[in-house]
Amino acid sequence: MNLAIGLSGIVLSLVAALSGILTIVIGLRYSRKKLLILGARYSWLVLAGMMIATFAMQRALITRDFSVKFVAEQGSSLTPPLFNIATMWSALEGSVLLWGLILAGYLVVVTVKFNGRYTDPMVAWALVVIFFVMGFFALAMIGPANPFQSFDPPIGYDGPGPNPLLQNHILVAFHPPMLYLGFVGFTVPFAFAISALITGRLGEGWLLETRRWTLFAWGFLTAGIILGAWWAYDVLGWGGYWGWDPVENASLVPWLTGTAYIHSVLVQERRGLLRVWNLSLICATFALTILGTFITRSGILASVHAFSAGNFGGWLLVFFSIIVVVAVALIFWRGERLRSPGGMDSPLSREGAFLANNLAFAVFAFVVLLGTVFPLIVEAFQNRQISVGAPYFEKMSMPIGFTLLFLMAVAPLLPWRKAGRELLVHRVEWPAWGAALSIVIAVAVGARGALPLLGFSMAGFAGTSAVRQLALSARRHRFRGFLGRKNGGMVVHIGVILLAVGFIASSSFVDQASISLTTGEKVRIAETDVTYISSNTYTHPNRIEEEVLLEVDGQILSPAVERFIASGQIVPAPDTRITLYEDIQVALLDPPEGQEKKIVIQITRQPMLVWIWLGGLLMLLGTALSLFPQTRRPYLRDNIPEVAGHMLEKDLQE
């Protein structure tokens, strides 16, 4: 029953998507307005299909309908309810269904937003592109990634449940959906970019239409990535939160190009420059999300996150090729005609800073992508296997990180078009003091080492610059001074800076050690006093938890080890003491054994680690602020060349 409902939902979406494409294309060809309007309405059917399929899947999961192969392989009567719902995206086929659902949702939102404009070829072509992407995923769900295959369960069959790591932490309900809201969200600006290339209309219209979408999608992608890092930190026990694993990198690369885009788009809006560059960036970002999905699901690179099945990888690669070929061909054909007239006056300007920003992000994206796929390239040419891991990425991202912090500091200070030296010197004064103060404070609290100190000072430099901007804006507009793109952007920057500080501190000054203990024993390890108090075993429906109680520097922590019944897999459950200045994480490496309940624990101390999550939170807050409309009345400054504005201010003061 669920099988039939589910499959019919997918087929409905596929047929609706194809019909949409056909209808709109014919409508465009023969200028039939009615067809264009009809074509747009097919998006509702697409959404209906995806919702029906999702409903069927959830129903199958909740009722433990093992006649559905996906449920038989991923579900279990022992899985707690919340995790059971999340089981839908805990394996390949279900995750593709989630992707399709979110895409259908975005499609309908676009349809609603552009209601009344379906006859505009720009909108029409954009819809065609989104229908096309939808068609691909729907087709995949009938083909290699079919979530509704049948299974004949023997009597008394109970499934193994999802991977234990995916059913012991609440973030499984948030991290994947947010990532997808991000990845899939980029489909919309991509669709409009392709549409702009096809229609040859590259006035600022398409940009404005899609700017908010991009920010929205970017915000979710940021949230998804940070939640992933938090999840890893909470669960693995090594104090690590980012391993430069191929799948992690696959999500980072489109984020980097997306970040470059949301900056360079400002240059296009303000000065009309970088048009073709922005088009290319958004096409690249979308293509990279598909590439990332390919890397995750093809098994081509070994990763703890990979979950592959069948030949879906091959399908994704084909789709990726289509996107790349179409985008590059369109840019080749149309690009020259659409290039921006005029150019930048001076590199020492806001545009120049944004250009440098884009360069830095592009190089960063290149580094991460290259490092990730390099083993494949070497294997293709030399038939031997090498690895490119954390040491490479860490070394290469450091200079880029410094550059980005520097640019973050300097860009808000630079006026558009051209900067006068005196103006700059005046504006950079406070941030420079911020830099000096940061390094003094860092040294005072005990930080040592040239590189971390320089990192802190650069962060202080950037932070003060952002705060200065916000202060100016708040002084002028009070609370409204926090709204809008520029101010929200400053809040995001502050978030990034907090994150950077947390990152520098926690990675430069780690203290980690492991030791074995017997009940009642007290030791001093990694400058921490640890007393082993007791151990307990708890039996849950789906797992057996062996927990120990430790007193760590005066506080009780209870790390555990969980053994999942159905799969037999053992999963760590470390405990962390979080304060603003330090995190102490205790992991139980070896569960209690023998008479004395001997255990092996690992202690990891990292300073200021929570700043990373706080910074991430601020980034999301800033993104939300950016989405709010700015002040109703355009204020004077931004419409007159900055120099004049500055002089006017002096006039007013005198």
Which long-range contacts does 572-577 make (Cβ < 8 Å, 24+ apart)?
A: 572/235, 572/236, 572/237, 573/168, 573/235, 573/545, 573/547, 574/234, 574/235, 574/236, 574/237, 576/233, 576/234, 577/552, 577/553
Residue pair 309/300 in contact by the 8 Å Cβ criterion = no
Q: With both helix axes pointing from N to C terminus, report the angle between 121-142 and 312-334 in degrees, rounded to the nearest 10.
A: 160
Residue-wise over 408-427: b if at least 16 C-beta within 10 A, else e?
A: bbbbbbbbbbbbeeebeeeb
Q: What are the tokens at 158?
A: 């109970």
- Nearest CA among 277, 260, 494 for reference residue 356: 260
In 3D space, the residue among 244, 258, 362 whose CA is nearest the CA of residue 301 turns out to be 244
CA 636, 638, 639, 641 torsion: positive or negative? positive
Alpha carbon distance 373, 186 (integer Å): 23
CA pair distance 547, 561, nearest whole angstrom: 6
CA gap 468, 490 in Å, rounded = 9
For residues 396 and 614, which CB has a smaller minimum distance to other proteins in the complex?
Answer: 396
Alpha helices in 114-174 (DSSP H): 121-142
Q: Tell me the C-alpha distance between 417 and 344, whole Å.
A: 7
Give first-to-last CA distance, the chain, whole Å: 80
- Tokens standing for residue 654: 């005198």
**Residues 6 or more apart in contact with residue 615 via CB below 8 angstroms:** 495, 496, 497, 498, 499, 500, 501, 502
Helix, strand, or coil here: 532? strand
